Amino acid sequence: MNSQPAETGQVTAEFKRAMRRLASTVTIISTADVYGHRYGMTATAVNSLSMDPPSLLICVNHSASIHAPLTGRGRFCVNVLTTEQEDLVDAFSGKVKGDARFQVGEWHNEDSGMPYLEGAQSNLFCDIDSVIPFGTHSVVIGRVTAVRVEEGIRPLIFANGKLGATGSLTGHVRIASNLSTLTQFLPSDLESFLKKHPLIDVHLDEKISTAVVTAVEENAYDLGFVVEGPKTNRLETIPYRDDRLVLAVPAAHPLACKTSVKFAGTLDYDYVGLHTGSQINLQIQRAAAELDQAWRCRMQVHTYDALSAMVQAGLGIGMIPLRMAELYAKAMNIKVIELDETWAHRRHAIVIRSYESLQTAGKRLIDHLSRGSH
């Protein structure tokens, strides 16, 4: 690297090269004069200045058509573009002239008459505080008086003379998970993932494993978490974690003195079960059918905490994953008993249509989960 003083011409050339390496988010500065004529300009020289007072600065070339109306009116709006708004960049940087620029994109007027772009990542309305001329430009300091913000962060980036997206940083992943995986493993895994990738947007819904498979097949979700059992023919399956089912019984229950029990030895008692179709219910029903015995499921609930509360109240015994049972045993008057059955050991898996079909954000999540799984 050469940091020696150089001739002005050389410095300018090197400055340009250096600035090509400075990535910035593309914005459109918009304003309107008192007659309602609108002006707009593509700009990347936009920076936050201070939080107290909320203020920002923009740099506007004296030769730009927006310069005189902007400084004359004393108010403007910074519209921060999303990756879907690339077509505005050319229109507002010279390709289209005058008010016709506003035919590109969906523009509305704020009460004060300032045009703002609907669907921009954000719109920052500013009153001009000061204008500082410097070289070919004016540095315009604006006090932010109102802000509109859209959900989702997907900035349109300008770097090395090209437009691009921070695809490696941002993105959206839709996840469907069964309750067991969701409660036992996803909180810590998603927490560590989102700490590393704070701009990735994760949407998570709980479903029974069979519904997870269908939803991923139908492309309603990118990733699914299932307890192994349902057929996953059309999907790729990636091993994720293991767990173990145990019995939760009231502290005063006849089984409470045991450390381990065979499933057959529990069938004389009433159960509190999970909702129809859950893998735990299916496993219990299958095991009872193999023993040619009835499973007395007295009530059905949707969550482990409801199940544990019912067990604590003496309404039945229940079967839940060990991690959750241990958690509730600390907080409630219930006892955890090992279930001496091979089927009590279960495998959790990730299902996807294919790794290649995932967006970068989804691939990153898979990579993160595969690294973390045991």
Ligand X SMILES: Cc1cc2nc3c(=O)[nH]c(=O)nc-3n(C[C@H](O)[C@H](O)[C@H](O)COP(=O)(O)O)c2cc1C
Whole-Å CA distances, 365 to 170, 185, 187, 194, 370: 12, 14, 14, 9, 9
130 DSSP assignment? E
Q: Assess 65 for contact with ligand X (CB under 6 A).
A: yes
Among 64, 80, 202, 284, which residue interacts with ligand X (rule: CB under 6 A)?
A: 64
Least distance between ligand X and beta carbon 80 (Å)? 13
User: What is the footprint of ligand X within residues 76-95 (CB under 6 A)?
Assistant: 89, 92-94
Contacts of 16 (CB under 8 A, 6+ apart): none
User: What is the footprint of ligand X within residues 91-150 (CB under 6 A)?
Assistant: 92-94
Contacts of 4 (CB under 8 A, 6+ apart): none
Least distance between ligand X and beta carbon 75 (Å)? 18
Contacts of 198 (CB under 8 A, 6+ apart): none
Among 107, 158, 185, 304, which residue interacts with ligand X (rule: CB under 6 A)?
A: 158
Per-residue binder mask for ligand X (CB under 6 A), 1-40, x = binder: -------------------------x--------------
Helix (H), strand (E) at residue 325: helix 322-331
Q: Which residue is nearest to ligand X (CB)?
A: 45
**What DSSP assignment string belongs to 266-323?**
GTTS-EEEE-TT-HHHHHHHHHHHHTT----EEEEESSHHHHHHHHHTTS-BEEEEHH
Q: Which residues sit opposite 166 in a β-bridge? A: none
User: What is the footprint of ligand X within residues 34-53 (CB under 6 A)?
Assistant: 41-45
Among 25, 33, 49, 59, which residue interacts with ligand X (rule: CB under 6 A)?
A: 59
Residue 318 and residue 306: Cα distance in Å, rounded?
Answer: 11
Q: Which is nearer to ligand X, 134 or 233 (CB)?
A: 134
Residues in contact with ligand X, counted by CB under 6 A, come to a total of 17
Q: Assess 215 for contact with ligand X (CB under 6 A).
A: no
Least distance between ligand X and beta carbon 139 (Å)? 10
Least distance between ligand X and beta carbon 89 (Å)? 6
Return residues touching ligand X (CB under 6 A): 26, 41-45, 59-61, 64-66, 89, 92-94, 158
